[in-house]
């Protein structure tokens, strides 16, 4: 069973909750997928059953799974709908910072988008959210940086300074529409460099140059 951990591998005492994802929060990523830059954050969710922290991840998928590396926020407070109004209360609600992958069946997503349907079938499958332990070291003033290397090569690097919608504005916006609870996770969008995961790929996620997670991937059946 998945349990939130800190960066030393000790359990954090919150039940895993919903995973709220922000789509299209970096300009260059919008461009690489030929999407418009949204005026308001684009939100979707993954269920807690998507969360996984095993170092070896096996997909049961009949199409390639694509990676999106993202900064993840662990929520540590109950915030009822509409209660978040200012930046400092947003930062107060964050218990930890981690890194996650918003894994996506891009072929399925393209079909759903074309029909105007919700994305869950492409985004919510088991193990669609591999995630690191969470650091309680939260710098409210300076940009937070992260990188993802794939098979030893730098593939994605992001910074909160590049986000279209800042962390507080994303939290205020989603909280206008629903409550946040301890154990919920927010994925803040992916920078450019997304791509397909191949059988045997190895990935390392680092936050402010500190390695937080490494994953290796396999597919149960040939695709």
Name the site residues for Zn ion (rule: CB under 5 A).
68, 102, 190
Q: Indicate the length of the chain as a whole number.
A: 223
Per the DSSP assignment, residues forming a β-bridge with 73 are 97, 186
C-beta of 24: minimal distance to Zn ion in Å? Answer: 8
Task: Give the nearer residue to Zn ion in terms of CB position, either 4 or 123.
Answer: 123
Task: Give the nearer residue to Zn ion in terms of CB position, either 83 or 192.
Answer: 192
C-beta of 9: minimal distance to Zn ion in Å? Answer: 26
Which residue's Cβ lies closest to Zn ion?
102
Find, among 71, 78, 70, 75, the residue nearest to 95 by Cα: 75
Tokens of 136: 């309680």
C-beta of 48: minimal distance to Zn ion in Å? Answer: 17
C-beta of 10: minimal distance to Zn ion in Å? Answer: 28
8-state DSSP, 187? E
C-beta of 190: minimal distance to Zn ion in Å? Answer: 5
Per the DSSP assignment, residues forming a β-bridge with 18 are none
Task: Give the nearer residue to Zn ion in terms of CB position, either 63 or 87.
Answer: 63
Euclidean distance between CA atoms 47 and 71, whole angstroms: 18
Task: Give the nearer residue to Zn ion in terms of CB position, either 175 or 190.
Answer: 190
Find, among 145, 61, 66, the residue nearest to 102 by Cα: 66
C-beta of 104: minimal distance to Zn ion in Å? Answer: 7
Query: What do you get for the CA distance between the two ends of the chain, in Å?
Result: 28
Task: Give the nearer residue to Zn ion in terms of CB position, either 6 or 173.
Answer: 173
Q: How far is CA 213 from CA 133, 136, 148, 190, in A?
A: 8, 16, 10, 17
Euclidean distance between CA atoms 40 and 108, whole angstroms: 24
Task: Give the nearer residue to Zn ion in terms of CB position, either 194 or 221.
Answer: 194
Euclidean distance between CA atoms 197 and 199, whole angstroms: 7
């Amino acid at each position: 069973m998945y349990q939130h951990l800190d960066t030393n591998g000790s359990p954090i005492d919150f039940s895993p909750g919903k995973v709220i994802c922000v789509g299209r929060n970096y300009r260059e990523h919008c461009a690489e997928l030929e999407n418009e830059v949204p005026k308001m954050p684009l939100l979707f969710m993954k269920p807690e059953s998507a969360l996984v922290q095993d170092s070896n991840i096996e997909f049961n998928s009949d199409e390639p799974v694509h990676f999106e590396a993202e900064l993840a926020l662990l929520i540590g407070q109950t915030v009822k709908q509409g209660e978040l109004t200012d930046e400092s209360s947003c930062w107060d609600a964050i218990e930890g910072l981690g890194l996650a992958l918003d894994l996506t069946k891009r072929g399925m997503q393209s079909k759903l988008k074309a029909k105007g349907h919700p994305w869950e079938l492409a985004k919510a499958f088991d193990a669609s959210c591999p995630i690191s332990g969470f650091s309680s070291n939260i710098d409210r003033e300076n940009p937070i940086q992260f990188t993802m290397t794939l098979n030893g090569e730098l593939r994605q690097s992001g910074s909160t300074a590049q986000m279209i919608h800042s962390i507080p504005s994303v939290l205020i916006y989603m909280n206008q529409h629903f409550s946040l609870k301890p154990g919920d996770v927010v994925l803040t969008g992916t920078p450019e460099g997304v791509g397909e995961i191949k059988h045997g790929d190895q990935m390392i996620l680092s936050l402010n140059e500190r390695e937080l997670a490494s994953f290796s991937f396999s597919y149960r059946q040939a695709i």
